[in-house]
Chain A
Amino acid sequence: MMLHGLGAVFLREMILLKRRFKRYVVGVAISPVLYLVAFGTAMGTEARFDGHTYLEFLLPGLVAMTTMTQAYGTATEINIARFYLHIFEEFQSAPISNVAYVLGEVFSGMTRALLGVLVILGLGAAFGVSLHTGPWFWLAAALNAFAFASLAVLLAMLVTGHGDQALLNSFVITPMAFLGGTFFPLDRMPEWAQGLLYALPLTHASQAIRADAFGQPALWAHFAVLAAVGVAVFAAALVSVGRARD
């Protein structure tokens, strides 16, 4: 009973995704293609990172970044539904729990994120890079998507308009995309900076995804941090939905 309505929230998002699927794929692919061309090919094959070319190093980072951006994209969808279409009222006035609503939105964000991983893997193949994608790879991607989709719901409930949403993207997502172990190895950073960067969930996602992609065991701590952040943010999102009834 607690989860009644989850399907309706999820289905709505999936219908919209299906209707905009080509735009979605282009949207997912455009930035990674630029990074792959600009950074990957420019660095050539001579520079080695842990025994891998820069393209091989970069691709798992792009997977992590894409799960983050696509999952967090849920915030924009909720923002439109809340302030422009007012569809959020339809969910608020329906006999469904906050858990059902948040899970419906989080699962839709995770679906977008995991489809985005497939797009990145396809792009990697087009650039001649293929990764090992075992269960730990997908678990890290899913946990990262869960954490950022939950964050998307939380922040979408806290903002008071479209402008705030754009501001949050600039302050939260953009810095994390560049600093979360996506584009460079963290061990080349000063120790104090490494300490800061390990506070970012994306760093743990990048590390875990990259480890499995290179056929190495990922540290359990990365998964633990991602799960802990996910659960905490999800709980905050539940509270925020209740408080959104001004």
Chain B
Amino acid sequence: MIVIDNLQKRYGKLAAVDGVSLTVEAGELFAYLGPNGAGKSTTIKILTGLTRLSGGGASLGGADIRTDPIGAKRQCGVVMQHVNLDNDLTLAENMDIHGRLFGMDAPSRAARAAELLDYVGLAERTGSLVSTLSGGMKRRLMIARALMHRPRILFLDEPTVGLDADIRRRIWALIKTIQGEGTTVFLTTHYIEEAEFLADRVAFIDRGKIRALDTPAALMARVGAWAFDRLSEGGMDTEYFPDHETAQRAVTACDGCLTLRRVNLEDAFLTLTGKTVR
């Protein structure tokens, strides 16, 4: 379980994280959705010990990140947005060093590394240097490495950013499998479809504050069920309707309206935050 209470991070006058409070239940897949610079990565950095907090607090699996940071770190694995693997080490060596950092004994390290590299489809590359891997392979290796010590909580910071669509889907499947095995997953993303596909609950974050938090279905329901878009001078206006019949009547009477469609999570994000995802 993750409990975040009034978490704050300030850089001078800028509040990167501005009083965030939320709870993620054990085994839940929670998505933290927002534009670049919203405070998503900063939140993860605070929770995983990479950045000091300015105020508030949090606990991971019952361990307070302020008073028991080492206990809190034991609870979690983290996959950062950028690649942070040792290029001059082999896949096995990267896994082994991680296992040592988390106090695993030698037989456990070897067995777990073999199991995980097989799990992420990299078993045949065990002895290769990381520098020889493709971007998608590196991302899968980072996920495998983060799972090495069997963390109860997995933080994924933009896990599919910059990856091709097919690799992205493979990683989505992997994340779902990891959650299915009982791991709590805290995912940040600015890909709305990623949050919609993966998450049990979603928090919209913008300028360091949570603007809305609920299941994807509930967030979309706040906006409506059906929508149509209309080109306007400023770009595009969207109208939302509670049911298909009302929407159909409106679109028939409308001049210049585009196709009628179901409301998606992007509609909810735009409406509830008044923003676009940059």
Contact = CB atoms under 8 A, between A and B. Distances in A.
A11 to B, nearest CB: 7
B101 A94 contact: yes
B70 A19 contact: no
B97 interface: yes
Contacts of A19: 88
B87 interface: yes
A97 B86 CA distance: 21
- What range describes how many residues of B lie at the interface? 20 to 34
Contact of A93 (B50, B85, B103): B50
Contacts of A15: 89, 93
Interface in A64-115: 85-87, 89-97
Contacts of A7: 100
Contact of A94 (B71, B73, B85): B73
Contacts of B71: 95
A132 interface: no
B51 interface: yes
Interface in B252-277: none
B60 to A, nearest CB: 11
B180 interface: no
B78 interface: yes
B186 to A, nearest CB: 14
B98 A90 contact: yes
A126 interface: no
Contacts of B82: 86
Contact of A90 (B52, B84, B88): B84
B135 interface: no
B88 A91 contact: no
B49 interface: yes
Contacts of A92: 49-50
A12 B97 CA distance: 7
B102 interface: yes
A7 B109 CA distance: 14
B100 A11 contact: yes
B101 A8 contact: yes
Contacts of A95: 70-71, 73-74, 101-103
A89 B80 contact: yes
Question: SS class of chain A's interface: helix, strand, loop or mixed?
Answer: loop
A245 B51 contact: yes
Residue of B49, B76, B98 contacting most chain A CB atoms (<10 Å) = B49
Nearest to A81: B86
B48 interface: yes
Contacts of B173: none
A86 B80 contact: yes
A91 B70 CA distance: 12
Contacts of B76: 93
A15 B93 CA distance: 9
Nearest to B93: A15
A246 B98 contact: no
B101 A96 contact: yes
Contacts of A4: 103
B83 interface: yes
A16 B83 CA distance: 19
A15 B101 CA distance: 15
A180 interface: no
A12 B88 CA distance: 10
Contacts of A97: 70
A97 B88 CA distance: 25
Contacts of B101: 5, 8, 90-91, 94-96
Nearest to A86: B84
B112 to A, nearest CB: 15
Contacts of A93: 48-50, 73, 76, 78
A77 B79 CA distance: 22
Given A16-B88, A91-B101, A92-B50, 11 more contacts: A11-B97, A12-B97, A15-B89, A90-B84, A90-B97, A93-B73, A93-B78, A94-B102, A95-B71, A96-B70, A246-B51
Interface of A: 4-5, 7-8, 11-12, 15-16, 19-20, 85-87, 89-97, 245-246
Across chains A and B, which 7 residue pairs bring their CB atoms closest together, nearest first? A8-B100, A86-B84, A94-B101, A95-B73, A95-B70, A93-B48, A8-B101
14 contacts: A8-B100, A8-B101, A12-B86, A15-B89, A16-B86, A19-B88, A85-B87, A86-B84, A87-B85, A89-B84, A95-B73, A245-B49, A245-B50, A246-B51
